[in-house]
Chains A and B, each alone.
Chain A
Amino acid sequence: MDFKFSEEQEKFRQGVRDFLEEELRQGLWEPSCDAWIMGHDPEFTKRVAEKGWIGLTWPKEHGGQGRSFVDRLILTEEMLRYGAPAACHWFADRQIGGAIVHYGTDEQKKELLPLILRGEAYVGLGMSEPDAGSDLASLKTRATEDGDYFIIDGQKTWTSGGSHMNWIYLVARTDPDAPKHRGISEFFFETSLPGVTVQHIVDITGGVHFNEVFFDSVRVPKKCLIGEKNRGFYQVLNQLDYERSGMERLMANYPLFEALIQYTKETKRNGKPLSDEPIIRSKLAQLKIELEIGRLHMYRVAAVMDEGRAPNWESSMSKAYGTAFEQRLASSAIEILGLYGQLSPGSKWVPMRGMAYHSYLSSKGYSLQAGSSEVLKNILALRKLELPTQ
């Protein structure tokens, strides 16, 4: 047992911090909550790509750095700590590249991985449908074989990254007669193909990051099929373990926490800083405790992946825990701000650029995306605790 980071990892972390500090010094962006999913900044992504920080864990033969998952967690932890606008490359880096490394043909690897590594693939995740949410396997979007093509018809919704995507990762039904888990396949293709229409969905904060995507007889070349036909659902399950595994499930609104601590030190009530009040101290300390517990959960997931195992229950646990924490953080922030907490970004008198307001509303979705907390708990009950289904 050893909880420390290696000297090299500490140096790596410092390198990431130096890079982000320099970005801030140059005023290239402002730290914000949810920047990993809402902060679309192609130039930032390009600079990250130039550092070699996309595909960090992929094998070197595929252009990656062959580094550990703990290393990647260090990188993403710092990105989130600084609230850096990493949305353009986040999905491709987190799960799509890995899936192609794992399931892709040599040709796909040669063609697609460099695209991701250069930070040019802005990927949307085409999973949920109007009638297929937690029960993903009941999806209806069809992919029908026609010569060298699949013809795709149907609709996706809550497509994360959909508003800025140029590529989509799509799960569709390729065998309507097979049991529902066994007739699904995965595709990866450019959204510039004729027949793809994106419609924005405005979320509760007023922002746009997920979308409806319609497919009207979209002709997708067969080479876009990822992995084995009709085995897509099982591939997705594996991918989801990775999708759930990251620090963005704990630190999506971390910039709010830092700003809040600063605010309580600087804001005086009856001549004394808010941070002197026992109730405020206790609330903030409790949040810090919960954050650190979450951090240990996250690093455990990375350690499991470094052992070569899919984190098939650990990431469900860390995500369910982490998103609940983020919601408590946002809620506590509004409580601490009191009447000021209701002011929205851009309003006169708004503290902390409205991060508390934004995060409070935005965090309602954290426990839904990539598996609702209830689905995650079902997974844990079956996979970890081996409780019966009937």
Chain B
Amino acid sequence: MDLVLSEEQEMLKKMAHDFLTDKFPKTVVKEIEESEPGYSPESWREMAELGWMGLVFPEKYAGADMSFLDLAVLLEEMGRACLPGPYFSTVILGGLTILDAGSEEQKQEYLPKIASGEAIFTLALTESSARYDAAAIETKAAADNNAFILNGTKLFVPDAHIADYMLVIARTDEKSKGEYGTTIFIVDAKSPGISYTVLKTIANDKLCEVVFDQVSVPKENILGQLNQGWNEVQKIIQRAAVAKCCEMVGCIQQALDMTVDYAKERKQYDRPIGSFQVIQHYCVDMATDVDGTRLSTYQAAWMLSEGLPCTKEVAIAKAWAGEACQRVMALAHQIHGAIGVTIDHDLQYYTRRAKAAEVTFGDANFYREVVAQEMGL
């Protein structure tokens, strides 16, 4: 048992931290959040040059052949920096799915494009029920000679408005309502019949409504097996949940650091407020939640990285992270006082992202049920 990062991981962490701190001060984050595309093409290219897009792809697909655990380190720093843009959509939702489920041809075609920063991917999974179960999939894909015709509406699709490709989960067997009969398609996001509306969200993170109206997708763009898509969807959700947890670790670690710094500097009654026990204990409660989130997140990331079955550990990590983040942010605000609830203070970036992260890829209620099942209840 060894719970510390390797030397290489520490180096990656430092490099990521330095780059992100330099390129994404909150003034830039604000500008990007408010811009229409919601990302900076220039920084996107630089991140690709650093090898971040293809970090975990094998070398033969222009990747750096690193592990999911290494990626976890990078994601934590992205969460710490509030990095805006389609990294999560492209790499976690798109790239890792193709790497896991794609045919050799598909991997060769798409992974190098992702690694080079040329292609932006996303995942169109959830619909109006806003649930992560198979019964929620109502978008239809009807076979039509050598193609499938997609009709339906997807909701909460991140970065769809700038995506080059979308992985779309659609129902290919009308008689079925469950897991069987769902299929994943790689869809050219600029295909005729696709329209987007960017939703206004708490994290300003460009979640979209995507409408498919008679969109034709070639048969060879099926990812994995026809009608058997749900198996892979579960893996997508699992990877995404852990990746989200990694961002959350960075998010609340930064909120804690900012809060402790503030408590040391801010004076009332002629002394730093951090010298009052009530403030100290709040900070300690935050730190305990941060460490619990970190430990469970890295455990899940390590297990994914090792290819071990980890349904329970992922559920524990995400259930815990979702609620721990809310506690941490609540205390961060309480200690910061009024300055923390102004739009010009950095804290609000973390508050907004932490809330969005809680509900994304399964909240605590969702995962408590998973844990209950794992307990044999």
Question: Which residues does A use to contact B, with CB under 8 Å?
Answer: 1-5, 70, 261, 264-265, 275, 281-282, 284-286, 288-290, 292-293, 296-297, 299-300, 302-303, 306, 317, 320-321, 374, 377-378, 380-381, 384-390
Flag whether B82 is at the interface (Cβ < 8 A): no
Residues of A within 8 A of B275 (CB): 387-390
Nearest CB in chain A: distance from B291 CB, A: 7
Residues of A within 8 A of B264 (CB): 386-388
Query: Pick the contact of A381 from B2, B280, B315 — CB < 8 Å?
Result: B280
Residues of A within 8 A of B285 (CB): 377
Flag whether B295 is at the interface (Cβ < 8 A): yes
Nearest CB in chain A: distance from B77 CB, A: 16
Residues of B within 8 A of A282 (CB): 365, 368-369, 372
A282 to B370, alpha carbons, bound, how many Å? 10
Nearest CB in chain B: distance from A125 CB, A: 25
Flag whether B284 is at the interface (Cβ < 8 A): yes
Query: Pick the contact of A3 from B287, B303, B375 — CB < 8 Å?
Result: B303
Residues A1 and B298 in contact, CB atoms below 8 Å apart: yes
Query: Pick the contact of A281 from B288, B316, B368 — CB < 8 Å?
Result: B368
Nearest CB in chain A: distance from B297 CB, A: 10
Residues A288 and B2 in contact, CB atoms below 8 Å apart: no
Residues B6 and A380 in contact, CB atoms below 8 Å apart: no
Most chain B Cβ neighbours within 10 Å, of A5, A381, A390: A381
For the complex with contacts A261-B375, A261-B377, A285-B319, 7 further pairs of A-B residues with Cβ separation under 8 Å are: A3-B3, A3-B298, A4-B1, A281-B369, A282-B368, A285-B375, A289-B319
Given A289-B320, A377-B280, verify A303-B2 contact (CB < 8 Å): yes
Residues of B within 8 A of A288 (CB): 316, 371, 375
Flag whether B260 is at the interface (Cβ < 8 A): yes
Nearest CB in chain A: distance from B9 CB, A: 7
Flag whether B292 is at the interface (Cβ < 8 A): yes
Listed by A's residue number, 23 A-B pairs whose Cβ atoms lie within 8 Å are A1-B9, A3-B298, A261-B375, A281-B368, A285-B377, A286-B319, A288-B375, A289-B320, A292-B296, A292-B313, A293-B320, A296-B295, A299-B3, A300-B3, A317-B291, A380-B288, A385-B260, A387-B264, A387-B279, A387-B283, A388-B264, A388-B271, A388-B272
Within 8 A of A (CB), among B1-16: 1-6, 9
At the interface, is chain B mostly helix, strand, loop or mixed? helix
Residues B372 and A284 in contact, CB atoms below 8 Å apart: yes
Flag whether B299 is at the interface (Cβ < 8 A): yes
Residues B3 and A285 in contact, CB atoms below 8 Å apart: no
Within 8 A of A (CB), among B245-303: 260, 263-264, 271-272, 274-275, 277, 279-281, 283-285, 287-288, 291-292, 295-296, 298-299, 302-303
In the complex, which residue of chain A has the Cβ closest to the Cβ of B368? A285
Nearest CB in chain A: distance from B121 CB, A: 28
Most chain B Cβ neighbours within 10 Å, of A2, A320, A380, A385: A385
Nearest CB in chain B: distance from A295 CB, A: 9
Residues A1 and B371 in contact, CB atoms below 8 Å apart: no
Most chain A Cβ neighbours within 10 Å, of B69, B302, B315, B377: B377
Residues A381 and B281 in contact, CB atoms below 8 Å apart: yes
Residues of B within 8 A of A390 (CB): 271, 275
Given A289-B320, A381-B283, verify A1-B377 contact (CB < 8 Å): no
Residues of B within 8 A of A289 (CB): 315-316, 319-320, 368, 371
Nearest CB in chain A: distance from B333 CB, A: 18
Within 8 A of A (CB), among B298-322: 298-299, 302-303, 306, 313, 315-316, 319-320
A3 to B365, alpha carbons, bound, how many Å? 26
Residues A284 and B377 in contact, CB atoms below 8 Å apart: yes
Residues A70 and B375 in contact, CB atoms below 8 Å apart: no
Residues B369 and A1 in contact, CB atoms below 8 Å apart: no
Q: Lowest 7 CB-CB distances: which A-B pairs, in order?
A: A381-B280, A296-B295, A285-B371, A285-B368, A281-B372, A387-B274, A285-B372
Nearest CB in chain A: distance from B370 CB, A: 8
Nearest CB in chain A: distance from B295 CB, A: 4
Residues A70 and B372 in contact, CB atoms below 8 Å apart: no
Residues B6 and A1 in contact, CB atoms below 8 Å apart: yes
A299 to B272, alpha carbons, bound, how many Å? 35
0/1 interface trace, chain B 342-377, chain A, CB 8 Å (1 if under): 000000000000000000000011001101100111
A232 to B281, alpha carbons, bound, how many Å? 28
Nearest CB in chain B: distance from A47 CB, A: 28
Residues A296 and B292 in contact, CB atoms below 8 Å apart: yes
Residues A1 and B4 in contact, CB atoms below 8 Å apart: yes
Residues of A within 8 A of B5 (CB): 1
A385 to B257, alpha carbons, bound, how many Å? 9
Residues of B within 8 A of A264 (CB): 377
Given A285-B377, A303-B2, verify A296-B299 contact (CB < 8 Å): yes
Residues A297 and B295 in contact, CB atoms below 8 Å apart: yes
Given A3-B302, A387-B263, A387-B274, verify A286-B281 contact (CB < 8 Å): no
Most chain B Cβ neighbours within 10 Å, of A299, A320, A380: A380
Given A1-B9, A281-B368, A281-B377, verify A296-B302 contact (CB < 8 Å): no
Given A1-B69, A282-B369, A289-B368, verify A296-B287 contact (CB < 8 Å): no
A214 to B278, alpha carbons, bound, how many Å? 37
Residues A384 and B287 in contact, CB atoms below 8 Å apart: yes
Residues of A within 8 A of B292 (CB): 293, 296-297, 321
Residues of A within 8 A of B377 (CB): 261, 264-265, 275, 281, 284-285
Most chain B Cβ neighbours within 10 Å, of A265, A281, A292: A292
Residues B1 and A2 in contact, CB atoms below 8 Å apart: yes
In the complex, which residue of chain B has the Cβ closest to the Cβ of A389? B275
Residues of A within 8 A of B4 (CB): 1
A297 to B285, alpha carbons, bound, how many Å? 14
